[in-house]
């Protein structure tokens, strides 16, 4: 009888934990959207700043980009259209596009992230669409640390080319 009661207590505690995380996720959503929009707006300026100081943004400014790569990350990944010999306007444009691709990864990890993924939720689905596209639907916290010390907050919904 006692074991049964402990199981009920643990079930309720887990249910409360999941509810609290869902509420936390919903509370973080407006902050995340505002920070991502700010990153989109600031990315041309951050790319310009990087032209003078190098492809790694200094200090907390790095939160507007990825923590595990610099602003030239498309070049080492050999992505078509990103020129390793780019200079001037072309490298500025590549760095702007990289920040648009990964806006606020640092904020999402360090500010909105969670320390332990076992207690968080992750929902990742890529649903097929016609004409070679899929719908990317990622909610919760990413189960993979992408730089930084925490599991990053995720909110990605949109069509992508398959």
pLDDT per residue as tens digits for the range 48-95: 998 888 888 888 888 888 888 788 876 666 667 777 777 889 889 988
68-71 long-range CB contacts below 8 Å, 24 or more apart? 68/146, 68/147, 68/148, 69/147, 71/46, 71/47, 71/95, 71/98, 71/99
How far does Cα 112 stand from its chain's mean position?
A: 10
- Report the predicted TM-score, pTM, of the whole model to 2 decimal places: 0.75
With CA atoms as reference, report the closest residue to 56 among 98, 119, 84, 2: 98
138-to-152, 153, 155, 157 alpha-carbon distances in Å = 12, 10, 6, 6
pLDDT per residue as tens digits for the range 90-147: 889 988 988 888 888 888 988 888 888 776 788 888 999 888 889 989 898 988 887 7
Q: What band does 157 get if pLDDT is binned at 50, 70 and 90?
A: confident
Distance separating alpha carbons of residues 4 and 11, to the nearest angstrom:
11
Contacts of 56 by beta carbon, 8 Å cutoff, 6+ apart: 50, 62, 70, 71
Q: What band does 30 get if pLDDT is binned at 50, 70 and 90?
A: very high
Q: Is the pLDDT of residue 2 over 60?
A: no
Q: In the numeric block, which tokens belong to residue 110?
A: 């360090």
Q: What band does 6 get if pLDDT is binned at 50, 70 and 90?
A: low
Q: What is the pLDDT of residue 1?
A: 46
Q: In the numeric block, which tokens belong to residue 25?
A: 């996720």
Size of the chain, expressed as the number of residues it contains: 162
Q: With beta carbons less than 8 A apart as the criterion, state whether 152 and 102 touch.
A: no
């Amino acid at each position: 009888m006692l074991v049964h009661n402990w199981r009920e207590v643990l079930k309720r505690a887990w249910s409360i934990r999941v509810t609290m995380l869902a509420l936390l996720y919903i509370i973080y959503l407006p902050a995340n959207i505002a920070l991502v929009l700010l990153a989109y707006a600031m990315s041309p300026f951050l790319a310009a700043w990087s032209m003078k100081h190098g492809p790694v943004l200094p200090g907390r400014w790095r939160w507007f980009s990825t923590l595990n790569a610099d602003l030239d990350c498309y070049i080492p990944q050999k992505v078509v259209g990103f020129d390793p010999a780019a200079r001037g306007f072309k490298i500025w444009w590549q760095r702007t596009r990289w920040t648009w691709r990964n806006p606020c990864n640092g904020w999402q990890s360090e500010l909105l992230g969670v320390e332990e993924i076992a207690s968080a939720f992750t929902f990742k689905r890529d649903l097929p669409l016609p004409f070679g596209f899929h719908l990317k639907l990622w909610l919760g916290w990413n189960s993979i640390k992408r730089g930084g010390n925490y599991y990053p907050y995720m909110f990605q919904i949109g069509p992508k080319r398959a």
